[in-house]
Structure 1
Amino acid sequence: MVDVFTKLPVAVLSLNPAVDITYEIPQLIADQKVHALESRYDPGGNGINVGRGLKRLGVQACTFCVVAGEIGRFLRHQLDAQLDQVSYLEVDGETRINGTILESITGAQFEVSGVGPTVSSTQRDHLLDRFVTHCGDGLGIITGSLQRSLPTDLYAEAVRRVRAAGGRAVVDSHDELLRNAIDAQPFLIKPNRFELEALVGRSLTDERDIIREARRLQERGVTWVCVSLGGEGALLVTSSSVLKGEAPSVPVASTVGAGDSMVAGMAALLAQGASAEDALREGIACSAATVMQPGTELFDKEMVDRLRGEVSVTPLGYGFSSGS
């Protein structure tokens, strides 16, 4: 169980946050206006979701984010109400708006990601300095997309700086951002199965295949590799073990934020020095509790407490010991 006392400082980097708008409609019809059954506005972006998740788990964390324009002011209003500590960098332009459409008739989900504001190299370096300073010897969580103006090796730079300061970097991204970050040897990465397949350039047909590729990433310097598998749970490969976490069966309202919730759950336990098994269990419980929520809403802490006991974590063989 998560304690409100956090042993290590936790910093979250969110360079491209958003305001998330979710519409529930009967069904999309081409060239016709569709009236929403429900709509909601939430602070969004992967890093923001992780920060919100940590707050709900009682973890004191500081979220470092970029805001711009009128949408940025609206986002600040939301974040000030939902997070304990936020460090803002204001730039020109407008904070992006992301859209999610949920079809009640078909159960289909559509997502559109907006375009964020331009961030200069000077502004980027200023925010990164603040992020690394706050992280110290704790956890630096680096996640989400980047504005087009920012280089794809930025997360690698962030990982190196966190490590140089004595901290541990947690990275949840994809494509070139993730590929470059891996070269900098973060402590934990959390690709989903699709992202891992894109990273290695081939389909991964079974559990052994996924574990084999995770071990190869570990050999390149990543300490923990967690591969999320949706409703099937997740695999966590450490230096001494392979753990399989089975997700509890829950009704799915929306999958938005499930991966971010898993990162928040695992980071919350890492900050307290918990075992790999407990960290994986917490991450899966948070993810399962989030998919039960509408739109981009995240988990309810009471539901996480209920689901935690339903998450089965089993050490697998594959030539490794059962330790964490």
Structure 2
Amino acid sequence: MIYTVTLNPSLDYIVEVDQVTLGELNRTKHESKFPGGKGINVSQVLKRLDIDSYALGFLGGFTGNYIEDFLTSHGIQTDFVRVDEDTRINVKLKSDTETEINAKGPNITENNLNALKAKIRELTSEDVLVLAGSIPSTMPKNTYEELVKLCNENGTKFVVDAEGELLKKVLPLRPFLIKPNHHELGDLFNTVINSCEEVIPYGKELVRLGAQNVIVSLADKGAVLINKEAVYIATAPKGKVKSSVGAGDSMVAGFIAAYEKTRSTEEAFRFSVAAGSATAFSIGLCTREKMESLLPQVTIEKRN
């Protein structure tokens, strides 16, 4: 079974107005709300690709209830730790420009964290754990390290989709997959990366440091997968980008879904690129049909 962890989920409230006038009454022309959080996105895309998962993390209050009900109604299993304070609401205000207001989130106590650790201790070598997103300010900075150490004890594969120091610290624990984009990879090595060729030496260094598979996305320039066996360079499908939100999460889900079915790294990479592009070309997360329509456009060059 696949388990996703979202430590600081949100209820994303999208508000569209013709124009924002500060200090005055503004009326919306369209509103929507949906669960937010990278791990939750991964679970949603996995379900659309016919792969079941459990969504883990922390939820509280009426907003937490909404998120859990939403996921359950879409056939996604949940096993969240309940917390005392409300899950945060993030507001995205769209007019001629887009403004975001992200809340801090609830306080996560030591008991809450221990309850999550207890769930992860029950995982086995047949399971995969996906850790995605940032760590709330109320939690220890080494939370990811503590959780993946439990995976190592159980023989559980784990995937980490995070930035900077969070990513660096888990590399010695041999994550099955990490997925920085080219900007995040450049930040890790204090450089600027603009092409697939420039990715390769830095991706190889991440493998040397412990990552089993490294996917680096470069938007319309393609993507690179690097492991100990080979380097794979993928072309990006052509299309109009409507929103990049969730594209990276879709790449992670696409890789896991295809790998679970085929055990082929190359085929999983192909699905990953198609899924990420399908979300980028959509409003909201990708559908299976959209992803499959883009698969023929993804060509992969393998290098030893």
After TM superposition, the score normalised by the length of structure 2 is 0.92
Say which of 73, 79, 86 aligns to 2:71.
Answer: 79
Moved more, 268-277 or 128-137: 128-137
1:3 is aligned to none
2:182 is aligned to 193
What is the distance in 1 between the residues matched to 2:252 and 2:98? 22
Q: 1:26 to 1:275 in 2, by over 3 A?
A: farther
Query: How large is the Cα RMSD of the aligned pairs?
Result: 2.0
Say which of 236, 239, 242 aligns to 1:247.
Answer: 236
Moved more, 233-242 or 269-278: 269-278
1:117 is aligned to 106
For 1:254, what is the secondary structure of its paired residue?
A: coil
Taking the TM superposition and a 5 Å limit, the aligned residue runs for 1:20-99 are: 20-26=12-18, 35-99=27-91
Give the superposition deviation at 1:31: 5.5
8 Å Cα contact 2:43/2:76 also seen in 1:
no
1:168 is aligned to 157
1:212 is aligned to 201
1:310 is aligned to 297
How much identity, in percent, do the aligned residues show? 30
2:211 is aligned to 222
For 1:97, what is the secondary structure of its paired residue?
A: strand
1:298 is aligned to 285
What is the distance in 2 between the residues matched to 1:276 and 1:110? 39
Count of matched residue pairs: 304
What is the distance in 2 between the residues matched to 1:121 and 1:32? 43
Moved more, 29-38 or 194-203: 29-38
Say which of 178, 198, 222 aligns to 1:233.
Answer: 222
1:263-293 CA distance string (max 9 Å, x none) = 1111112223432211111111111111232
8 Å Cα contact 2:71/2:77 also seen in 1:
no
What is the distance in 2 between the residues matched to 1:188 and 1:27? 43
8 Å Cα contact 1:20/1:99 also seen in 2:
yes
Q: 1:44 to 1:77 in 2, by over 3 A?
A: same
8 Å Cα contact 1:138/1:271 also seen in 2:
no
8 Å Cα contact 2:120/2:150 also seen in 1:
no
Q: 1:308 to 1:293 in 2, by over 3 A?
A: same
Runs of at least 5 residues in structure 2 that lack an aligned partner in the other structure: none
For 1:134, what is the secondary structure of its paired residue?
A: coil
1:213-258 CA distance string (max 9 Å, x none) = 1111110111111111122231110111111111211222211111
After TM superposition, the score normalised by the length of structure 1 is 0.87
For 1:264, what is the secondary structure of its paired residue?
A: helix
1:267 is aligned to 256
What is the distance in 1 between the residues matched to 2:200 and 2:138? 35
1:143 is aligned to 132
Q: 1:134 to 1:310 in 2, by over 3 A?
A: same
8 Å Cα contact 1:63/1:85 also seen in 2:
yes
What is the distance in 2 between the residues matched to 1:11 and 1:235? 25
Q: 1:290 to 1:35 in 2, by over 3 A?
A: farther
Q: Which amino acid aligns with 1:208?
A: E
Q: 1:258 to 1:109 in 2, by over 3 A?
A: farther
8 Å Cα contact 1:47/1:63 also seen in 2:
yes
Runs of at least 5 residues in structure 1 that lack an aligned partner in the other structure: 1-8
Give the superposition deviation at 1:302: 1.1
Give the superposition deviation at 1:81: 1.2
Could you say which structure has the greater relative contact order, defined with CA pairs below 8 angstroms and 6 or more residues apart?
1
8 Å Cα contact 2:195/2:218 also seen in 1:
no
For 2:243, what is the secondary structure of its paired residue?
A: coil
Q: 1:36 to 1:241 in 2, by over 3 A?
A: farther
What is the distance in 1 between the residues matched to 2:99 and 2:302? 36
8 Å Cα contact 1:228/1:234 also seen in 2:
yes
1:11 aligns with 2:30: no
